[in-house]
Structure 1
Amino acid sequence: MAFIQSFPIYFMLFFLSGFLGCRNTTVQHDNQPVSDSAVQFLDVKEKAYSCFCAGYFFMLESDWENAVINFEKALHCDPSSERIIQHIATCYFQLGKNEKAIDYMKKLADMKPDEFSVRYTLATLYETAGRAREAIEEYEYARRCKTTTLDDIFMADVLYRLANLYMNEGMMEKGVDCYQSMFDRKLVSEPVKIYYEIGKKYFEKNDIKKAVEYFLKAKYADPKVSFTSFYLTLCYDILKDYDNAIKEAHVFLQKEPGNWAMHLALSEIYEKTGNESEHQEETRKTQEILKKNIDAGVRNPQEYFLLCQIYRKQRNINDAISVIESMKLIPLDNETMRDVHFLLANLYYDDQRFDRVEEELRMTLKLDPDFHEANNFLGYLLVENNKNLDEAIELINKALKVQPKNGAYLDSLGWAYYKKAQREGRDDYFVTALRILSEAVHFMEEPDIYDHIGEVYYSLGDWNKAAQAWEKAYAFYSRALNPDTKRVDIKTKLEKIKKLQSVEEKNIMLIEKCRDVEKSIPP
């Protein structure tokens, strides 16, 4: 918690329970529960106290299982004991059985409905269990309970937690009201941090104007807190108030000149405003900071991915590969390692090192066999290299099970059947390919798909429809950023069809002339 001490639940449960002594009575000290035979001569109250003491000693030794056994025996003898119920709730919480702990705290709340500590503890248990609505209800109960000055620090925690719960549930005004209540009751001495928290919540909820309002309040309360300027930069950028965004970015960078995230944000703002020289300068600074951090062995994967992105945008593929390869030397979880291999596959594809592409994709799928992007990529790679077509179709179908309407995946599958038709000389596979490719272009109009449709029609001998598909592909490639190679390829195909059609027309005319000549010759 940013501005008050956050108290873990077990602290409050022990706080509730109090510190207990135990008078001389029949208690076993050999870490075994008190047997029924040993206490059968005691009356019910004595038996309850004996079990309670045994449970308490087990609790002091963190033997929660035996503690709860003895406490429940004690509660059976004395069902109205608040102290026993408190201790049982503590034990169940320590055992990770939050729902059982909640059940006992609810019993205690029924017995002591106006007790602040009981309501506070029950609310915190609900929050830990992910039951936000019940937590809000109990925190509101706690908020209304009578408290002493000794409870103030816990009340501050109640209001802080309640504010966050309300805001996470989208009830922003109620959350702000809780924060305001902390001011009114003089429970906090640093308003800047509360304003900052409220601003962050509005930012996360994408209410940017409200976020700006509270970040400005935080800034005026304490101009030395640099991260208000960081968030103000992001807010002004979203609002397209680029002058103020640049101003706040420079305020932040004066205090933290080595913050690559702000240099990156500033470079993007300059790009939006058309200031190319400043954009390049901030990109260079971002790149230098990231490279320095990575050379020093930083373990933040985000920095590696970002530097790779910068190199890739500069078409510096070898350096991009080198950065991502170096990630393999730092500790990574399985999901991040999967992303490393998949990104390397893309980089090696850019570099036309197709053997490495397949290797990295197979490593990706070893870590995550259901990663649909990698299944499609590997399937398409096999198709393009005209090998293992049955495996390729299986991989692409696996990707389509996850995203059945993905035009790119359907294009891969249609192209696989086209290749299979060519290899095996089966016209039915051409028909299958055409059906799948027609479905693909319905979901995603891309020049590559029209190009593939043209190839299928051409193979089926329908030159007119092949030409129509290639003309669409040519038009799309003409609008692309780097269309030259593809456009030349499509133009060559269209010229080939025109020649074929021209030859066909000449042949038809020649045949007709021959028939006319034959008719003019007398029998």
Structure 2
Amino acid sequence: MRLNASSCASYVLTLTVILGSTNIYAAATERLPDSRSFTVIKKKSAPTTAESSALAHYSLGIVYDNQGMVDEAIKEYNKALKHDSESSSIHTRLGTNYLLKNRLADAIRHLKRAKEIDPESTKARTLLALIYTSQNKFNEATGEYQEVIRLNPGSIEVLTSLADLYVLQEKMDEAAGIYEKLLDKKEDSPFLHFNLALIYSRLGKIDLAEERFKRVIELKPDYIEAYLALGTLYEIKKDMSGAAAFYKEALDKDPLNKRVHYHLGSIYYRQKRVEEAIAQYEFLLKIDAEEIGAYVDLAYVYLSEKRNTDAEKVLKRADALDLKSERFFLAYGLTKSAQKEYTEAAHYYEKVLEYNPNNAQAHFYLGAAYERAKEIKKAAASFRRSIELDPQNADAYNYLGYMLVEDDKDLDEAMDLIKKALEFQPENGAYVDSLGWAYYKKGMIDDALTQLEKAVILEDADPVLRDHLGDVYFEKGSFEKARREWRKALELDPQQEGIKEKLERDL
């Protein structure tokens, strides 16, 4: 989690919240330095000119801070430091502002110095912990937080930060322990109960998580995130009706919450309540006509129901509003593939890759579209690129292997590819068929028969598998068995003219 230009803004926002809680950015009248952190205040005698100058520049720096003028504040603090180099307050301020400017090395240097001057400075240690966390130096961050807790045992903010650090380190038991202790002090905090529930979820303690989320709702009935979390837990437990009930409760509190409508749409679809799922997504689009995700999800509902024309109509509505996204173009490509318009499908998959050239799924679908459009070389290149990006893409291995088999080229490589697919999904009937068909093409008829008989057991309603098995039986001289398989294939897909010809020829 190193800071970079893209993450700096969100990190600074987090920092600002924490700074507010530690009063580092309090108004100048509220933030006079104490005697341990500012040399001039330690002295009982009148301050020297240098000491007075240090305090003046320091105070002006605070004024600039309060106005958000960070660069000007840094200049004043550096001037103050020239007059009083042993002030932990000045070093802390400089460390803070350098952190805001993403000058982490300078921030660390000044915060360490502040800590050396004033070992009990919790502010400097807290900021150092934040920086160390951003640099993945979790042990150093943990040490700083633990020291802050020793100095200020009652700090809920710091204990929470330490717990979050443990979460980053995947030390869930330690994180849970801290939240449990915090709740001993502040049992009525819905925030603490919610975070502990999340940690219990990560630990697989679903029942304990459920109890905590329900406690959150008791304490704060409008805590929408708790309803969403409970809905998700019930989805994990495969209790879709229970999940839907929590999402509906959330809508009672916030009827226009888009995330809840997304969840309900998904739940209804999985319950085969297709029209209710459609209604949820359409309502989402009434709430926000430019919610591109709702158009895409609704299109997928229609596609899965083989309502391809309806899917295209939905996507055209989004297109008319000039709504574009990576998911949008992928859905459009799949729609065109379902309509057997493969050249158009390839166009949309290429659009996906303009958004994200490393989308392995898009490369796979592009390969499939090219293959259907008889552009075999392009198809092979797309499948190979998909495999490069996702070495566990079993479909890409199988499709490329099967394509090579059909083309009667590189049968040894084809078999290696198909076997690789089977390593990931050994009981996939389509993959077993591909291997059997490769054996058939190589003249290894007995091996082909073994694989194809297994394939139709795994996938008995696939006309291609039945056709292949019929061909092998025919090659073995088992003509009646061959005709039986071809008839089954024709029953499953009456449009297969090639099978009709086989039956007419060999009857």
**TM-score normalized by the length of structure 1:** 0.68
Give the whole-Å Cα distance in 2 for the aligned partners of 1:17 and 1:138.
27
Shift of the 247–71 alpha-carbon distance from structure 1 to 2, 3 Å rule, reads closer
Shift of 1:142: 3.3
Give the whole-Å Cα distance in 2 for the aligned partners of 1:86 and 1:200.
34
* Number of residue equivalences: 443
Shift of the 125–181 alpha-carbon distance from structure 1 to 2, 3 Å rule, reads farther
SS in 2 for 1:88: helix
Shift of 1:460: 4.4
Which one-letter code corresponds to 1:107 in the other structure?
R
Partner of 2:151: 145
Shift of the 175–484 alpha-carbon distance from structure 1 to 2, 3 Å rule, reads same
- TM-superposition CA deviations, 1:349-375 (whole Å, max 9, x none): 222221221111222223322322222
Q: Does 1:353 align with 2:341?
A: yes
Shift of 1:92: 1.0
Shift of the 104–406 alpha-carbon distance from structure 1 to 2, 3 Å rule, reads same
Partner of 2:17: 8
Q: How does 1:415-454 map to 2 (within 5 A)?
A: 415-418=402-405, 420-421=407-408, 429-445=410-426, 446-454=428-436
Partner of 1:472: 454
Partner of 2:311: 320
Partner of 2:381: 394
Pick from 215, 232, 235 the counterpart of residue 233 of structure 2.
235
Partner of 2:177: 174
Partner of 1:304: 295
- Flag the structure with larger Rg: 1
Give the whole-Å Cα distance in 2 for the aligned partners of 1:315 and 1:218.
42
Shift of 1:125: 4.9
Shift of the 208–305 alpha-carbon distance from structure 1 to 2, 3 Å rule, reads farther
Partner of 1:364: 352
Please say which of residues 200-209 and 322-331 is displaced more in the overlay.
Answer: 322-331
Give the whole-Å Cα distance in 2 for the aligned partners of 1:46 and 1:134.
36
Q: How does 1:265-344 map to 2 (within 5 A)?
A: 267=268, 271=271, 280=273, 283-295=274-286, 297-328=288-319, 337-344=325-332
Which one-letter code corresponds to 1:358 in the other structure?
A
Give the whole-Å Cα distance in 2 for the aligned partners of 1:222 and 1:296.
26
Which one-letter code corresponds to 2:410 in the other structure?
Y
Partner of 2:115: 109
Shift of the 497–200 alpha-carbon distance from structure 1 to 2, 3 Å rule, reads same
Shift of the 321–14 alpha-carbon distance from structure 1 to 2, 3 Å rule, reads same
Give the whole-Å Cα distance in 1 for the aligned partners of 2:131 and 2:248.
44
Give the whole-Å Cα distance in 2 for the aligned partners of 1:392 and 1:363.
16
Partner of 1:490: 468
Shift of 1:130: 5.6
Shift of the 192–462 alpha-carbon distance from structure 1 to 2, 3 Å rule, reads closer
Q: Does 1:82 align with 2:94?
A: no
- TM-superposition CA deviations, 1:32-69 (whole Å, max 9, x none): xxxxxxxxxx9976886787688678767766456545
Shift of 1:441: 3.9
Shift of 1:211: 0.8
Which one-letter code corresponds to 2:215 in the other structure?
K
**TM-score normalized by the length of structure 2:** 0.70
Q: How does 1:21-100 map to 2 (within 5 A)?
A: 64-65=70-71, 67-68=73-74, 71-72=77-78, 74-100=80-106
Give the whole-Å Cα distance in 2 for the aligned partners of 1:103 and 1:88.
10
Superposition RMSD in Å = 4.3
Partner of 1:157: 157
Partner of 2:264: 263
Shift of 1:124: 4.7
SS in 1 for 2:410: helix
Unmatched 5+ stretches in structure 2: 1-13, 33-47, 481-507
SS in 2 for 1:352: coil
Shift of the 308–465 alpha-carbon distance from structure 1 to 2, 3 Å rule, reads same
Give the whole-Å Cα distance in 2 for the aligned partners of 1:441 and 1:130.
39
Partner of 2:486: none
Shift of 1:205: 4.3
Unmatched 5+ stretches in structure 1: 22-41, 185-189, 272-278, 422-427, 503-523
Identity of aligned residues (%): 18
